[in-house]
A and B are shown apart, each in its own frame.
Chain A
Amino acid sequence: MGPFIEIISKPDNIAIVVMILMVLFFTAWAFLQAFRNDASRKNGELIEGEGNGKVDTWKPLVRIELIVALVVFIGLTFWSLVVDAPLEELANPTLTPNPAKAPWYFLGLQEMLVYFDPWIAGVVLPTLIIIGLIAIPYIDINPKGNGYYTFSERKWAILIFCFGFLFLWILLIVIGVFFRGPGWLWFWPWEEWDHHRVVYEGTADLTNLVGIDSRSGWGFFIGGGVVTMYYALGMILPYVYWRKKKPEFFENLGMVPYVTVTFLFWTMLALPIKMFLRLVLMVKYVWVTPWFNI
């Protein structure tokens, strides 16, 4: 347990512990209120906040703001009195620590480096995360669930967002902080960090699994075909399915938002898929080209 106590009590990592507790608490609270509202709807009762009148801002709201500000201030003061901000040795460009970790809020991106090259994990995916977040209101055209907690009225939106936020962002940060040691190898919290540990992983590229050299012409075309088909089928199949089932859905959404939402969705799912390929099938690249690898 030695290293675990050491990692968990590192000054900066106390923030991660605070984050884990707050995320768990507020996730539970949001879903609790969502299920409660859904139950009220089912029974034909008013949901929370429905039929509300207005109250004065002075003082009911200002009073709450003051109390919250005081509580936060007392909490942060206590935190700062008990834990000192860390200061390590003087910066030394010739002495690389192992592991060298990015600030904790970027460790999800650093963790993605295990599965993707830097141009995807460090540039393309963060850009798409920002674009995707901004796009949410324009691609989620479901008018229900505006201004109250609910699950049943917008299941897919909530499931997809929570998967992205809780598992692909928060969980990867937690892994990056607590489970990655020297060489960015996986160390359980109770394991000592062994700086000389070498892990031989016989990774291969996807096409090599079926006996085709990924660097050959055939390998290039098959790898590119897999990536192209992934997006093409990911867009066409749901289109065919929903066109039949819910034609009005497409009329409301429009083609450009549909292509955007499916592209973003399958790009997001590409991360867990690549994780599976990498961890279970030992696949390094799906597509190898002279310019970039995916």
Chain B
Amino acid sequence: MKMFDNIKQSLIWKSMFRRDYKDTPRNRALAIFGNVFMHLHPVKVREGAVKLRYTWGMGGISLFSFIILTVTGFLLMFYYRPSVDQAYWDIKDLEFQVPYGIFLRSLHRWAGHFMVIVVWLHMFRVFMTGSYKSPRQFNWAIGVILLVLTMLLSFTGYLLPWDQLGLWAIEVGTNMAAGTPLLGFEGPFSEYLGITPYNDVRFAILGGSTVGGNALLRSYVWHCVALPLVAVVLMAVHFWRVRKDGGISGPHS
């Protein structure tokens, strides 16, 4: 015990932790705004906001799924090369050579599916409690964009194993883009703009007229860099707006 006291009195300890653990109102407040992660929260919240039966915790679970996906995704990147010759075999290696590799990949995949479901249910809850109403209209719009990003993140990840499942799912999904009016080669009015399979939106998405190596690389970059970055920025705005718009919704607020 003496040793602990000495450590707690040391300069190093005191430079890191500015409060002791005594349960006082001041310390309860400090625990929140004295910590960069905790200070996403206000110091005090409406009683209804901590009731699981009201929020279902779906927003928090979405964020938590995103964190799981970031950590597992980061680890998966060590074992994966996004090229037609290597991608599939890297996934095979992950399954049969890398210790716990199959668990890592499964956790990433199921957390991804789970996040899509949870984000939908989060939207459903916010709708059912009318929480998009004034003053939270704009934050609802950001939430819709985040929901679309979640599905795009999942969609871009689908192709990466470079197996039949991913290839044909992306084939079906991107073929719809060929039907875009004016800009897709199968879409209405596109013939007047000189649109062909080699210069339409589908070509821009895939980096080619078929799902090939360029599409795989594009999926990878969107999936691992661009989309997560955009999502993180919008999440920051989303959480900040929850605070600025008066906290989690409740009657009379």
Contact = CB atoms under 8 A, between A and B. Distances in A.
Interface of A: 12, 15, 18-19, 22-23, 26-27, 29-30, 33-34, 47-50, 52-62, 64-65, 68-69, 72-73, 76-77, 79-81, 83-93, 95-97, 100-106, 109-110, 117-119, 121-124, 130, 133-134, 136-138, 140, 143-150, 154, 157-158, 161, 165, 291-292
B197 interface: no
Interface stretch (B6-14, B117-125, B218-226, B233-241): B117-125
Interface of B: 25, 28-29, 31-32, 38, 41-54, 56-57, 60-61, 64-65, 68, 84, 88, 91-92, 95, 102-103, 105-111, 113-114, 116-117, 120-121, 123-125, 127-134, 136-137, 140-141, 144-145, 147-148, 151, 154-155, 158, 161-169, 171-173, 175-181, 184, 186-189, 210-212, 249-253
Contacts of A97: 164, 168
Contact of A83 (B51, B106, B175): B106
B46 A102 contact: no
A261 to B, nearest CB: 15
A161 B252 CA distance: 23
Contacts of B84: 91
A49 B110 contact: no
Nearest to A135: B141
A57 B43 CA distance: 5
Nearest to B102: A84
Contacts of B155: 103, 106
Contacts of B127: 136, 158, 161, 165
Contact of A123 (B28, B29, B179, B251): B179
B61 A72 contact: yes
A122 B179 contact: yes
A64 B52 contact: yes
